[in-house]
Chain A
Amino acid sequence: MVEASAEHPQPYRHLLAVLVGLLALTAVTVAVSRVHLGALNVWVAILIASLKSSLVLLFFMHLKYEGRLIRTTFVVTVFTLAVLIGLLFWDVEFR
């Protein structure tokens, strides 16, 4: 069941704070990509992208305020994707 809290309007300033965070992380990821860190560059980029997507999911897409059904099925989806990626990497590594 969707909780009643999902129906309340989110204050503009909260949404604006999320946007500022997203833009700041974008600046950080561009800046870091210009610094040569070798293989670490990819991982930093993916980490920042994950942080940004968490902000979008939790606040813009209201995942933070959703009920158990949507939250659980979302985690299951991401887990399935992670297993898919994991198995592929495993295969590529030991081919």
Chain B
Amino acid sequence: MEQLDRTGKKVGMWLFLYTEIMLFGGLFVIYANYHHRYIKEFADGGAALNLVAGTLNTVLLLTSSFTVAASISALRKGTQKIAMGLLGASILMGLLFLVNKYFEWGAKFEHGIYPGSAELAEGPHGLTIFYGLYYTITGLHGLHVIIGLVLLSVCSTLIWTGRIHQSKDIFLENSGLYWHLVDLIWIFIFPLFYLVA
């Protein structure tokens, strides 16, 4: 019975992840369409983004995905403290990602580049679309990072109180799946925005 419940919860989580894939997939389709139409403007927009910040955020998310996967292994080995430590490291990296993003967006805002700004309205139309997509997609992704961080924090607390343990870890596993999906989406965001120059 326990095993059946576990399978149901995992399948349910994957079904939810499929809707997330279609959600971001749809946004990427819009991106592809406009990239096709405004190749030059998209290259200019990409060149203006901070490649170092983007690469750093990629490294942070990839590493945090590793620590989340490792925390599940640690829990299954029965080493709760290591599992919590690894989750703590993941949460820290997720927070650093958001801080980095905050400074990145902030720098763009200072240059008058934000949705509906007068600066963009005067420039080429393709550039407005590039930044519109940039803010929509990275913003929606950032929201997912925040939700993921909440889930990981809840997991950490539940391990602490003993509600998640070696033989009852499905909540951690599903939260991990969510965090990996956030990483997966970033893997596509990174080249589409930062490397199109």
Contact = CB atoms under 8 A, between A and B. Distances in A.
A43 B73 CA distance: 35
A60 B191 contact: no
A60 B195 contact: no
B11 interface: yes
| Chain B interface size, under 10 / 10 to 19 / 20 to 34 / 35 or more | 35 or more
Contacts of B58: 26
Contact of B187 (A41, A52, A74): A52
Interface string A40-64: 0110011011001100110111000
B82 to A, nearest CB: 10
B196 interface: yes
Contacts of A2: 3, 6-7, 10
Interface in A69-89: 69-70, 73-74, 77-78, 80-81, 84-85, 88-89
Contacts of A10: 69, 72-73
B25 A84 contact: yes
A48 B192 CA distance: 12
Interface in B180-194: 180-181, 183-184, 187-188, 190-192
Interface of B: 3, 6-7, 10-11, 14-15, 18, 21-22, 25-26, 28-29, 32-33, 35-36, 51, 55, 58-59, 62-63, 65-66, 68-70, 72-74, 76-77, 176-177, 180-181, 183-184, 187-188, 190-192, 195-197
18 contacts: A2-B6, A9-B77, A26-B55, A26-B62, A33-B191, A33-B195, A42-B196, A45-B191, A56-B180, A60-B65, A61-B181, A69-B11, A70-B11, A77-B18, A81-B21, A84-B26, A88-B29, A92-B33
